[in-house]
Structure 1
Amino acid sequence: MRSIDHARESAAAVRLMGFDVDGVLTDGSLYFTPNGDEIKVFSSLDGHGLKMLQQAGIEVVIISGRSSRALELRAANLGIAELHMGVEDKRGCLDGILARRGLPRSAAGYMGDDVVDLPILRACGFSATPADGHAFVREHVGFVTSQPGGRGAVRETCDFLLAAQGRLDVMLQRYLD
C-alpha cells in the first residue's frame, strides 16, 4: 500500500470513479430465493456518497463480474448510467470508457475487494478497497477504508475523494445551512 499522501494526490485527480459490487457495494453475501432470483443488500449511506460524487461532477461507473436485476434497479435508482455487468476484463472495460471520454487512466479510480480486481485497480490513478477486502488486495491499493464492504466503505471512499478535491466541506455545509 502506498502512503496516504499519495492516495490524496491521486484522489484529487479523479474525474471518473468505478466500483465493483459484491464485497464493495454489498457485503459480498449472495442470497438466492427458491425461484433462483438473486437478492442484494445495499447501504443507503453508500448510495448518498455516490450521489455526492455525481453532484461534484465525478462520474460514477459500476463494473461488475456478475449480473443481477437488483443491481440494475439500484444503479437506475442512483442515476448511474454506466453499468457494466458480467464483465470478465474489467480493465479493458474501463479503458473503453476512458477512451470514449478522452480521459487518461490517471483521472480514473476504482474500488474492488478481491484479487480478480487487481488488474483494474493497478491501472487506475486512484485505487481503494474495503477494510475486509482480500489481504493481498489491501497491500496493493492506495486507500483502505476502515469500514467493510456494503457497510459504509463506499461512503468513506467517496468522502475521501471529495475531501482530496476540496469539496467535501462545502457539500456537507449545505446540510447545516
Structure 2
Amino acid sequence: MSRIKLIVLDVDGVLTDGRLYIGSDAVEYKAFHTQDGMGISLARQAGIKTAIITGRKSNAVLKRAEELQIDFIYEGIADKLTVLQNLIDQIGIGFEEICYMGDDLNDIPILKEVGFPCAPHNAIDFVKKQAKLITKSSGGNGAVREMIDFLLKEHYSDEDLLELFLSRKTEVTQ
C-alpha cells in the first residue's frame, strides 16, 4: 500500500452509528465516538489530511469537524465521487493515496476508485465486498479509530505513536 495522504470519511454509519435523532424542535443530534476523534487527531499529527463527504447536512457534523480540525468538509453531496475528484485535483494527489471509509450504496463509486477502501462492521454486504479492510468495530463505535490505527501501524510502532501523541498532546481532540 502506498503512503496514504488523505483519509476521507462518510458520516452516518461511519462516524456515527447510522441512527438519526431528530428532536421535536427539528434539531438533528448525532453521537460521535471519542476514540474516533483521537484517531483523527493522530492521523493529523502524522501528516495525513482528512475530509468528510456526506449526503446529509447537519450542524452537529460541522461542529464535530471543526473540533477535530477536519481539513475538508462537504455536506449534502449526492455525487461523492465528483466532489472527491475535484478535491484531489485541488490538492494534487492520486486516488491511490486515499483511504476512504463508507457503509452504504452511495459510497460504492468512491470505494471502487481509492487505493485503500474500508468499511465498518455494520456496512452493507455490497460495500464490504469492495473493502480491503473491514473493521471489527461498527460505525460510531470506534471503526474509524481502528482503521486509522491500522494505517499508522504500517509506519509507526506503538511506542512511536505514543511519542507522537505525547509530543503534541495539547493539539489532540477526542
* Alignment partner of 2:86 out of 96, 106, 130: 96
Q: CA deviation at 1:81?
A: 3.1
Q: CA deviation at 1:172?
A: 2.3
Give, as a single letter, the amino acid of the residue that structure 2 aligns with 1:45. Answer: Q
Return the alpha-carbon distance in structure 2 between the equivalents of residues 14 and 174 of structure 1.
18
Is 2:28 the counterpart of 1:43?
Answer: no
Alignment match, 2:144: 154
Q: Is the 8 A contact 2:11 2:54 kept in 1?
A: yes
Is 2:133 the counterpart of 1:133?
Answer: no
5+ residue gaps in structure 2? 168-174
Q: CA deviation at 1:25?
A: 0.1
Return the alpha-carbon distance in structure 1 between the equivalents of residues 30 and 118 of structure 2.
22
Give, as a single letter, the amino acid of the residue that structure 1 aligns with 2:14. Answer: V
- Closer, same or farther: CA 176–90 of 1 in aligned 2, 3 Å: closer
- Closer, same or farther: CA 175–67 of 1 in aligned 2, 3 Å: closer
Q: Is the 8 A contact 1:163 1:169 kept in 2?
A: no
Return the alpha-carbon distance in structure 2 between the equivalents of residues 89 and 51 of structure 1.
27
Alignment match, 2:134: 144
Task: Report % sequence identity.
Answer: 39
5+ residue gaps in structure 1? 1-8
Secondary structure of 1:159's partner? helix
- Count of residues in Structure 1 that have an aligned counterpart in Structure 2: 167
Q: CA deviation at 1:167?
A: 5.7
- Closer, same or farther: CA 99–118 of 1 in aligned 2, 3 Å: same
Return the alpha-carbon distance in structure 2 between the equivalents of residues 176 and 70 of structure 1.
29
Per-residue CA deviation, residues 52-97 of structure 1 (Å, 9 max, x unaligned), is: 0000000010000101000000000001131100011111111111
Give, as a single letter, the amino acid of the residue that structure 2 aligns with 1:73. Answer: K
Q: Is the 8 A contact 2:49 2:71 kept in 1?
A: no
Q: Is the 8 A contact 1:110 1:126 kept in 2?
A: yes
Instruction: Give the alignment's TM-score, normalised by structure 2.
Output: 0.91
Per-residue CA deviation, residues 143-166 of structure 1 (Å, 9 max, x unaligned), is: 100001100100000101101233
Q: Is the 8 A contact 1:114 1:137 kept in 2?
A: yes
Return the alpha-carbon distance in structure 2 between the equivalents of residues 74 and 147 of structure 1.
20
Is 2:128 the counterpart of 1:164?
Answer: no
* Alignment partner of 2:13 out of 2, 11, 23: 23
Is 2:65 the counterpart of 1:75?
Answer: yes
Instruction: Give the alignment's TM-score, normalised by structure 1.
Output: 0.89
